[in-house]
Amino acid sequence: MVIPEITVDELLLLQAAGDVRLVDVREDNEWVDSHIESAVHVALGTVPDRLDAFGDDGATEPTYVICKVGGRSYRACEFAAAQGKNVVNVAGGMMAWWAGGHDAVSGR
Protein backbone atom coordinates (compact mmCIF):
# COMPACT_ATOMS: atom_id res chain seq x y z
CA MET A 1 0.00 0.00 0.00
CA VAL A 2 1.38 3.39 -0.98
CA ILE A 3 0.64 6.22 1.44
CA PRO A 4 0.67 9.76 0.02
CA GLU A 5 2.99 12.24 1.69
CA ILE A 6 3.30 16.01 1.93
CA THR A 7 5.96 18.33 3.31
CA VAL A 8 5.46 20.62 6.29
CA ASP A 9 5.52 23.59 3.90
CA GLU A 10 2.64 22.05 1.92
CA LEU A 11 0.80 21.44 5.21
CA LEU A 12 1.23 25.09 6.16
CA LEU A 13 -0.27 26.19 2.84
CA LEU A 14 -3.25 23.91 3.38
CA GLN A 15 -3.73 25.23 6.91
CA ALA A 16 -3.66 28.81 5.62
CA ALA A 17 -6.36 27.92 3.09
CA GLY A 18 -8.79 26.42 5.60
CA ASP A 19 -9.48 23.75 8.18
CA VAL A 20 -7.15 20.77 8.09
CA ARG A 21 -7.58 17.66 10.21
CA LEU A 22 -4.16 16.93 11.72
CA VAL A 23 -3.40 13.98 14.00
CA ASP A 24 -0.17 13.78 16.00
CA VAL A 25 0.74 10.17 16.88
CA ARG A 26 3.73 10.83 19.13
CA GLU A 27 3.83 9.71 22.76
CA ASP A 28 2.22 11.75 25.56
CA ASN A 29 5.49 13.30 26.78
CA GLU A 30 6.45 14.38 23.26
CA TRP A 31 3.02 15.95 22.76
CA VAL A 32 3.21 17.87 26.05
CA ASP A 33 6.69 19.19 25.19
CA SER A 34 5.63 20.68 21.84
CA HIS A 35 2.90 20.21 19.25
CA ILE A 36 1.06 22.02 16.50
CA GLU A 37 -1.81 23.92 18.09
CA SER A 38 -4.48 22.61 15.70
CA ALA A 39 -3.43 18.97 16.03
CA VAL A 40 -5.34 16.22 17.82
CA HIS A 41 -3.25 13.84 19.90
CA VAL A 42 -3.66 10.12 19.26
CA ALA A 43 -0.61 8.19 20.51
CA LEU A 44 0.42 5.51 18.02
CA GLY A 45 -0.48 2.65 20.37
CA THR A 46 -4.05 3.94 20.66
CA VAL A 47 -4.72 4.39 16.93
CA PRO A 48 -6.84 1.20 16.62
CA ASP A 49 -9.13 2.49 19.39
CA ARG A 50 -9.22 6.09 18.11
CA LEU A 51 -9.96 5.70 14.40
CA ASP A 52 -12.75 8.26 14.76
CA ALA A 53 -10.02 10.94 14.98
CA PHE A 54 -9.03 10.08 11.40
CA GLY A 55 -12.36 11.16 9.89
CA ASP A 56 -15.18 9.25 8.28
CA ASP A 57 -14.55 6.18 6.15
CA GLY A 58 -14.19 7.19 2.51
CA ALA A 59 -14.07 10.91 3.36
CA THR A 60 -12.89 13.10 0.50
CA GLU A 61 -10.92 15.42 2.80
CA PRO A 62 -7.83 13.66 4.10
CA THR A 63 -6.49 13.52 7.60
CA TYR A 64 -2.84 14.55 7.83
CA VAL A 65 -0.75 12.52 10.26
CA ILE A 66 2.48 13.67 11.91
CA CYS A 67 5.05 12.30 14.36
CA LYS A 68 8.65 13.25 15.15
CA VAL A 69 10.30 12.33 11.81
CA GLY A 70 7.67 10.50 9.77
CA GLY A 71 8.04 6.79 10.56
CA ARG A 72 5.37 6.37 13.23
CA SER A 73 2.95 8.57 11.32
CA TYR A 74 3.51 6.43 8.22
CA ARG A 75 2.68 3.28 10.21
CA ALA A 76 -0.43 4.97 11.60
CA CYS A 77 -1.41 5.95 8.06
CA GLU A 78 -0.97 2.38 6.82
CA PHE A 79 -3.27 1.08 9.56
CA ALA A 80 -5.88 3.81 9.13
CA ALA A 81 -5.88 3.46 5.33
CA ALA A 82 -6.47 -0.28 5.66
CA GLN A 83 -9.55 0.62 7.73
CA GLY A 84 -10.91 2.89 4.98
CA LYS A 85 -9.55 6.24 6.16
CA ASN A 86 -8.22 8.89 3.76
CA VAL A 87 -4.82 9.74 5.24
CA VAL A 88 -1.65 11.59 4.23
CA ASN A 89 1.70 11.32 6.00
CA VAL A 90 3.59 14.52 6.86
CA ALA A 91 7.16 13.79 5.71
CA GLY A 92 9.87 14.92 8.10
CA GLY A 93 7.39 15.29 10.95
CA MET A 94 7.90 17.68 13.81
CA MET A 95 11.66 17.78 13.19
CA ALA A 96 10.95 19.42 9.83
CA TRP A 97 8.32 21.66 11.45
CA TRP A 98 10.76 22.91 14.10
CA ALA A 99 13.60 23.24 11.55
CA GLY A 100 11.33 25.52 9.53
CA GLY A 101 10.84 27.74 12.57
CA HIS A 102 7.09 27.19 12.65
CA ASP A 103 4.99 27.85 15.76
CA ALA A 104 4.29 25.10 18.25
CA VAL A 105 2.70 25.07 21.68
CA SER A 106 3.38 23.06 24.83
CA GLY A 107 1.13 21.50 27.41
CA ARG A 108 -2.01 19.44 26.98
The enclosing domain of 61 has a CATH number of 3.40.250.10
Answer whether residue 47 is part of any domain: yes
DSSP percent split of the chain into helix, strand, coil, nearest 5: 40, 15, 40
Rounded distance between C-alpha atoms, residue 90 and residue 77, angstroms: 10
Structural domain range at position 79:
5-99
Q: Mind listing the pLDDT tens digit for each residue in 81-103?
A: 999 999 999 999 999 999 999 99
What pTM does this model have? Answer: 0.96
Is the residue at 41 inside a domain?
Answer: yes
The answer to whether residue 108 scores a pLDDT higher than 80 is: no
Q: What is the 3-state secondary structure (H, E, C) of 28-53?
A: HHHHHHCECCCCEECCHHHHHHCHHH
24-34 pLDDT, tens per residue? 999 999 999 99
Which residues belong to the active site? 67
Counting the structural domains of the chain, the total is 1
